[in-house]
């Protein structure tokens, strides 16, 4: 396919965007929406979901949904998806953007259209997150083990929740994000299901979302949710033989990082909760998907 044909097909792909807000960052939200409005090509329809909070003033043409309670990040995003029809199918591509982020370039949506048009097997694109002041990308924002060079694009096995584009055909085939996770690892759950269905995921260094450098542990529930959801992730998606291996590796990694006593207590509480509470339907991935993840550089034991 020639570059001109790719561009023409990309122009035909309709793009929407879902933004979740807690209503406490009105200036940042407005800046993000302005950066979406400035994207080259066809207009992007945007839905802002107030997750248990009123939505601040938004530009004309931006749809808003105010939820009476906080459904968590995946629950809120799923509401946004359904605003574009069942499984988001009123559009071809959905951008998921943090409300305090900012699209750094005006051609990001066009790059997404071209990427999905050129590769029918491509299901998800993970953007590069960079600090707006320094331009630095943290290692944890590069969704692969070899994260020393954030400027290198590659195929990956997961993606970043607040800076990505998803082909809505993926959501129609494998379902949305797991509501019960509330926060943490919901992207990997969707990524593993997508990969098991034959889709691919790309990390693109040239698609940039500016976002202030923060630590995920700023959230009070971070350590509990991370541990609980990692257990759920394994129980839902891994072949039975790999569940104890995966969780054993992460237990050792957590201990090696020497967290504080309160953090470790919260982590073990979440780990226990992950075993004693319902994780939803179990659909273990195929062994060929395990091999595929391994070939992509991240076997599902780490």
For the chain, how big is the Rg over CA atoms in Å? 19
Cα separation, 35 vs 29, whole angstroms: 10
Residue in 221, 141, 210 with CA at minimum distance from that of residue 181: 221
| 223 and 133 assigned to the same domain | no
Q: List the domain range (segments joined by +) for residue 246.
A: 217-281
296 found inside a domain: no
**Is residue 204 domain-shared with residue 250, that is, in the same domain?**
no
Q: Is the same domain home to 254 and 149?
A: no
Residue 142 lies in a domain: yes
pLDDT tens digits, residue range 198-236? Answer: 999 999 999 999 999 877 655 558 999 999 999 999 999
121 and 264 fall within a common domain = no
51: its two tokens: 């997750």
Q: Which of 228, 229, 298, 234 is nearest to 269 (CA)?
A: 228
Same domain, 183 and 230: no
| β-strand partners of 128 | 208
For residues 37 and 32, give the distance between their C-alpha atoms in angstroms, rounded to a whole number.
9
Q: Are residues 77 and 221 in the same domain?
A: no
Task: Compute CA distances 157 → 30, 126, 144, 173, whole Å.
Answer: 32, 10, 7, 18
- Condensed to tens digits (0 to 9), the pLDDT of residues 244-295 reads 999 999 999 999 999 999 999 999 999 999 999 999 999 999 999 999 999 9
Is 80 inside any structural domain?
yes
Instruction: Label the pairing between strands 200-210 and 154-156.
Output: antiparallel
- Mean pLDDT, the chain, rounded, equals 94
Average pLDDT, stretch 164-187? 98
What percent of the residues of the chain are helix, what percent strand, and what percent coil, each to the nearest 5? 45, 20, 40
Tell me, yes or no, whether 226 and 143 share the same domain: no
Decide if 94 contacts 202 (C-beta within 8 A): no
Domain count, the chain: 2
**Do 129 and 254 belong to one domain?**
no
Q: What are phi and psi of 57, to 5 degrees?
A: -55, 135
pLDDT at 1 over 70: no
Q: Are residues 140 and 233 in the same domain?
A: no
CATH number of the structural domain spanning residue 26 = 3.90.550.10
Q: How far apart are CA 3 and CA 261, in angstroms?
A: 56
Which tokens in the block code for residue 178? 């797991």
For residues 112 and 41, give the distance between their C-alpha atoms in angstroms, rounded to a whole number. Answer: 11
Domain boundary among 177, 195, 214: 214
Within a domain: 289 = no
Last residue of a domain, one of 186, 214, 242: 214
Task: Write down the pTM of the prediction.
Answer: 0.94
Q: Which residues contact 40 (CB under 8 A, 6 or more apart)?
A: 106, 107, 109, 110
Q: Which pLDDT value is given to residue 11?
A: 61
Q: Are residues 224 and 206 in the same domain?
A: no
Q: Identify whether residues 83 and 58 lie together within a single domain.
A: yes
Do residues 57 and 204 both lie within one domain? yes
Among 185, 214, 243, give the residue marking a domain's end: 214
pLDDT of residue 218: 54
Contact between residue 202 and residue 114 where contact means Cβ atoms under 8 Å apart: no
């Amino acid at each position: 396919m020639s570059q001109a044909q790719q561009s023409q097909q990309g122009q035909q792909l309709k793009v929407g965007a879902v933004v979740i807000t807690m209503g406490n960052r009105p200036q940042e939200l407005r800046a993000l929406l302005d950066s979406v409005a400035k994207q080259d090509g066809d207009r992007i329809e945007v839905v802002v979901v107030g997750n248990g909070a009123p939505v601040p003033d938004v530009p004309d043409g931006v749809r808003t949904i105010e939820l009476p309670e906080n459904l968590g990040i995946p629950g809120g995003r799923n509401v946004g998806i359904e605003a574009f029809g069942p499984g988001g199918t009123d559009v071809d591509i959905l951008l998921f953007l943090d409300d305090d982020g900012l699209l750094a370039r005006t051609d990001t949506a066009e790059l997404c259209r071209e990427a999905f048009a050129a590769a029918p097997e491509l299901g998800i694109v993970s953007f590069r997150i960079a600090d707006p002041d320094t331009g630095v990308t943290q290692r944890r924002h590069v969704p692969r083990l070899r994260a020393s060079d954030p400027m290198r694009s590659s195929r990956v096995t997961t993606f970043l929740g607040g800076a990505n584009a998803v082909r809505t055909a993926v959501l129609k085939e494998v379902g949305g994000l797991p509501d019960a996770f509330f926060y943490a690892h919901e992207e990997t759950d969707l990524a593993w299901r997508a990969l098991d269905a034959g889709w691919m995921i790309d990390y693109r260094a040239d698609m940039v979302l500016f976002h202030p450098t923060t630590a995920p542990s700023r959230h009070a529930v971070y350590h509990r949710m991370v541990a609980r959801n990692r257990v759920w992730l394994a129980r839902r998606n891994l072949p039975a033989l790999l569940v104890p291996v995966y969780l054993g590796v992460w237990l050792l990694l957590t201990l090696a990082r020497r967290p504080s006593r309160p953090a470790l207590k919260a982590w073990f509480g979440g780990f226990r909760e992950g075993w004693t509470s319902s994780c939803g339907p179990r659909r273990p991935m195929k062994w060929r998907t395990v091999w595929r993840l391994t070939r992509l550089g991240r076997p599902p034991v780490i």
